[in-house]
Amino acid sequence: IWISISLIGGVLVSLICLWQMDLKALIAYSSVAHMGIVLSGLMTMTYWGLNGSYTLMIA
């Protein structure tokens, strides 16, 4: 359930980013979406999920 909440939150905040005109708000929303997707990868507790989250944090 936590994985789906993280994914849905990441996608919804990403959609909010598409409509942002203010640069500060855009950066804030994109970092929230980014961490939501990282969190969902960490919640899988698999090799691929942890490596994907680590790679996404570096990118």
Q: Per-residue pLDDT tens for 5-49?
A: 888 888 888 888 888 888 898 888 888 888 888 988 899 999 999
Q: How confident is the model at residue 3 (pLDDT cuts 50, 70, 90)?
A: confident
CB atoms within 10 A of CB 37: 19
End-to-end Cα distance, the chain: 26
How many domains does the chain fold into? Answer: 1
- Cα dihedral 27, 28, 29, 33 sign: positive
Residue 47 pLDDT: 96
How many of the other CB atoms lie within 10 Å of CB of 58? 6
Confidence of residue 4 (pLDDT cuts 50, 70, 90): confident
Domain membership of residue 25 as a residue range: 2-58
Are 37 and 13 within 8 A, CB to CB?
Answer: no
Amino acid (one-letter) located at 41: G
